[in-house]
Amino acid sequence: MKQFKTIILGTALLSMILISCKENKAEEQTPQTPETPATEVAPETAETPQAEIATVLNANLATEEELQGLNLPTEVLSKIMAERPFLTMNDFDKALGEMPNKENVYKSIFVPFNLNTTAEADFKMIPGVGDRMAHEFEEYRPYTSIKQFRKEIGKYVDEDEVARYENYVFVPVELNSASEEDIKALPGVGGRMAHEFEEYRPYKNMEQFRKEIGKYVDDKELSRLERFVYIKE
């Protein structure tokens, strides 16, 4: 009997050893699941800054608040408000006196040049316009429309640069034949005023223009508008 119990205990022990060996072998054969790597936090994507669109204020039309935003000296700002409208850019240049870094100022504020009458040397007051481009501005005179300016100067620079130049120049229009588009291209002339320009056609002389348009604007604004138009004789 004692021998029988010993055999049973031995058998049981052997079974336990065999089972343990199988489990260990199974663990070795089962591939360990790799730890899931921590989710990598992507760095915040910085917003791509949009290209700044340069705004060139018209010295005759800018509000006092807009002028203050240019950080001009107080005495210069007061002089601009008192003396405008400036009939030419040369008048505005004189108003600024000996102010340093004028070219930087002119990147932000200007009185547009008449493309058909401005001296070639004066065109170089436009930021970024040197001898060669000033010559090209004069080369294609007389301009009959701003579209002609875009076409001719577009031979030398891209569309963005032509558009930048347009802040600094204008083409005077013939009152009795100019299209509404060409009239609206004049500095500070919007749809309503363009309509009034057309309303009183045909104009016989500039005195008629002054009389009719003078119903809508004061004398200062009328003198500013006069430099943009002419009557073909």
Whether the per-residue pLDDT at 15 is higher than 80: the answer is no
**Strand partners of residue 57:** 109
What pLDDT digit, counting tens, does each position of 84-127 carry? 999 999 999 999 999 888 999 999 999 999 999 999 999 999 99
76, 96 Cβ separation under 8 angstroms? yes
In this prediction, residue 47 carries a pLDDT of 42
Whether the per-residue pLDDT at 196 is higher than 90: the answer is yes
Count of other CB atoms within 10 angstroms of residue 209: 20
Average pLDDT over residues 167-188: 96
Mean pLDDT across the chain: 84
Burial of 157 by CB count in 10 Å (0-12 exposed, 13-18 middle, 19+ buried)? middle
In this prediction, residue 55 carries a pLDDT of 83
Whether the per-residue pLDDT at 52 is higher than 70: the answer is no
In this prediction, residue 233 carries a pLDDT of 80
What pLDDT digit, counting tens, does each position of 27-50 carry? 444 444 444 444 443 443 444 444
Average pLDDT over residues 206-213: 98
Q: Per residue, what are the HEC states of the chain?
A: CHHHHHHHHHHHHHHHHHHHHHHHHHHHHCCCCCCCCCCCCCCCCCCCCCCCCCCCEECCCCCHHHHHCCCCCHHHHHHHHHHCCCCCHHHHHHHHCCCCCHHHHHCCEECCEECCCCCHHHHCCCCCCCHHHHHHHHHCCCCCCHHHHHHHHCCCCCHHHHHHHCCCEECCEECCCCCHHHHHCCCCCCHHHHHHHHHCCCCCCHHHHHHHHCCCCCHHHHHHHHCCEECCC
Of 19-28, 196-205, 216-225, least confident by mean pLDDT is: 19-28
150, 115 Cβ separation under 8 angstroms? no
Whether the per-residue pLDDT at 205 is higher than 80: the answer is yes
Radius of gyration of the chain from Cα atoms? 40
In this prediction, residue 113 carries a pLDDT of 98
CA–chain centroid gap for 233, Å, is: 40
In this prediction, residue 44 carries a pLDDT of 39
Average pLDDT over residues 142-167: 97
**Strand partners of residue 110:** 58
Token pair, residue 183, equals 């009239």
In this prediction, residue 1 carries a pLDDT of 46
Q: Is the peptide bond before 112 cis (omega within 30 degrees of 0)?
A: no
Average pLDDT over residues 137-154: 97
Q: Which amino acid is at 195?
A: H
Average pLDDT over residues 74-91: 95
pTM of the model: 0.75
